[in-house]
Amino acid sequence: MSIDDRSTIVIDTQANEAQGRALLAQVQGRVLFVFNTHEHGDHIAGNRLFAGPIISSLQAKEAMLAEGMADGLPNCCFSEQLRLQIAGEEIRMQHFGGHCPGLAIMYLPQSGLLFTGDLVFNGRAPWMGHADFSRWIAVLEELATWDVQTVVPGHGCLGGKELLLHQQETLENFVADVQSWRNTGKGEAEMVELAAAKYAVKPAWYDMLRLAFKRVPR
């Protein structure tokens, strides 16, 4: 995100090093800091290419350490909230969890701009392998009460506030479906098939579905 001609905030550093290098080439010399929305590898692969502050929630950093990450770890962390003022604009980072333990959003109240990280996937099923479903749904409900003009999701195109509601409904439906499939005695393989068809999940993500089923409350 560009603050002005000379200042850019990098929000997540791409899914692999080549993409990280391409991002760095675009913004080199103008980076105020990097913000990691969360600990998943497809958001932090380019971290070690960036000099200067890397900000994340403390919970995200702890998860990165637990995964054995050594290079490019965040070096400026907050456990609840961090508010900065840059060029007259308030920039708020807030820890929520839900999608995974470390997830934090960035919000610019004056512009109504909300970077949700992977709390929102636009146009495809969300990755739910580390989900705390009740927390995730509650967070989306809360964010929908904020003054938001533009939602920048973790994956997919940006949109308006409707993305928050749509993601919330998808998660609620998924939880209800899994509970009802379980109650009617469906086995894991059958549930994978049903969920893949209903939520357009590709085979590479079937393991994610198996993890997600385990995280749906009984």
Q: Does 161 bind Zn ion (CB under 5 A)?
A: no
CB of 100 to Zn ion, least distance (A): 6
Q: Does 130 bind Zn ion (CB under 5 A)?
A: no
CB of 3 to Zn ion, least distance (A): 25
Stretch that binds Zn ion, among 23-31, 34-42, 44-52, 135-143 (CB under 5 A): 34-42
Cβ closest to Zn ion, residue 120 vs residue 195: 120
- DSSP single-letter state for residue 152: E
Q: How far is CA 151 from CA 18, 85, 190, in A?
A: 26, 20, 35
**165 Cβ contact list (under 8 Å, min separation 6):** 140, 144
What is the enclosing helix (H) or strand (E) of 50? none
- CB 149: neighbour CB atoms within 10 A? 11
CB of 160 to Zn ion, least distance (A): 22
CB of 101 to Zn ion, least distance (A): 11
Rounded to whole angstroms, how far apart are CA atoms 48 and 102? 19
Stretch that binds Zn ion, among 3-11, 22-30, 115-123, 209-217 (CB under 5 A): 115-123
Residues 36-55 that bind Zn ion (CB under 5 A): 40
Site string for Zn ion, 75-114 (x = CB under 5 A): ----------------------------------------
Rounded to whole angstroms, how far apart are CA atoms 59 and 80? 9
Instruction: Count interface residues toward Zn ion (CB under 5 A).
Output: 2
Q: Does 12 bind Zn ion (CB under 5 A)?
A: no
**189 Cβ contact list (under 8 Å, min separation 6):** none
Cβ closest to Zn ion, residue 181 vs residue 205: 205
CB of 62 to Zn ion, least distance (A): 16
> Where are the alpha helices (H) located in the chain, listed in sequence order?
17-27, 58-66, 133-143, 162-183, 188-199, 206-215
Choosing from 23, 118, 136, 139, the residue that interacts with Zn ion (CB under 5 A) is 118
Cα dihedral 180, 182, 184, 186, rounded to 10, equals: 120
Enumerate binding residues for Zn ion (CB under 5 A). Answer: 40, 118
